[in-house]
Amino acid sequence: MIKLFKLFIFNIKNYGYINSIKIVFFELIGFIQYFNYKEFTFIEGNKTSYLNSKKFDTYNTAYIPTPYYFLYLIDAQLKFRKMNQCRFIDLGCGYSRPANYFISKQKNISYLGIDIYPYDKNKKKRYKILKQDLRNLKKTKTILDKFIRENHNNVIFFSDPFDIKLVFRILDFLNLKGKKFFTVLVNVNKKFINKDFKLIYLKNFNQRSIKIYKN
């Protein structure tokens, strides 16, 4: 938790002071409501370090929980768009904070989290966690093909889990397969240039952002 706090202080300039105050407020509320101290962990290794994401084109980001304030804003958008029977796929899920948050807020959501190091070992009725290297695109495609369904609101969630090249490769595959889905990008700041994806929501935080696309 100390490492996470230091990282937050380091990134205040990226979020802005007002947004940083909101982030702290929602983190306190989330801690009281969910009381899962593991979600407040900052985990990095030689191959998943925070600095590596700044140096190389290919990387896996260290586990950093998505701020509750961000999840609150995303949840508001899902409800505004009446996302009933939502199938939510979290790629690079870590401790699955989004699963615990959205399942508590929405009755008809099914959650699938995929991570090469899935830290969340809990088993709950409406969500499943899979250990999978998403760079193995053949297996990743098979998993996503089975989970994404027609006549459902499918949401693909990326919270800065790995390099942008892998994000785009996964999205391009799903789009070519004719799958219909919403894409949520948290702190993935590179411009999405595929004309098949329409930006329907944007929230900027100085050098950080939330973007929601629909294909």
Domain 1-215 is of which CATH architecture? 3-Layer(aba) Sandwich (3.40)
Q: What is the pTM of this model?
A: 0.85
Exposure string for 84-94, b = 16+ CB within 10 A, e = fewer? eebbbbbbbbb
pLDDT of residue 8: 57
Q: Please, are residues 188 and 170 in contact by the beta-carbon 8 Å criterion?
A: no
Ordered by start, the domain boundaries in the chain are 1-215
Cα–Cα distance for residue pair 12/6, rounded to 1 Å? 10
Confidence check: pLDDT of 13 > 80: no
- Identify the band that residue 152 occupies on the pLDDT scale cut at 50, 70 and 90: confident
**Minimal CA–CA distance to 103: which of 129, 133, 131?**
129
For 103, the enclosing helix (H) or strand (E) is helix 97-105
What average pLDDT does the structure give for the chain? 81
Helices 68-80 and 97-105: angle between axes, nearest 10 degrees: 40
